[in-house]
Amino acid sequence: MTQTETDPQQPAPATVRSQVRIPLTFPDGYRVEAEVFTFHGLADGAEHLALALGTPGAEPPLVRLHSECLTGDVFGSDRCDCGPQLRESVERIGETGGYLLYLRQEGRGIGLYNKLDAYALQDAGLDTYQANTALGLPEDGRDYTAAAQMLATLGVGAVRLLSNNPDKAQQLAGLGVEVTERIPTGVHVSASNVRYLRAKVEHTGHSIRLAGLVG
The answer to whether 140 is a known catalytic residue is: yes
Q: State yes or no: is 182 an active-site residue.
A: no
Torsion on CA atoms 210, 102, 147, 209, rounded to nearest 10: -10
Could you say which of 64, 79, 108, 142 is catalytic? 142
Give the residue from 197, 193, 209, 183 showing the smallest Cα distance to 89. 183
The Cα angle at residue 118 between residues 114 and 119, in degrees rounded to 5:
120
The span from the CA of 116 to the CA of 51, in Å, is 28
**Cα distance between residue 126 and residue 209, in whole Å:** 22
95 φ/ψ angles, rounded to the nearest 5 degrees: -70, -35
Catalytic position from the list 64, 73, 140, 182: 140
Task: In whole angstroms, give the CA distance from residue 79 to residue 111.
Answer: 16
Q: Phi then psi for 147, rounded to 5 degrees? A: -60, -45
- Cross-sheet strand order for the sheet of 158-162: 15-25, 31-40, 49-53, 98-103, 62-67, 158-162, 178-183
Instruction: List residues with catalytic annotation.
Output: 140, 142
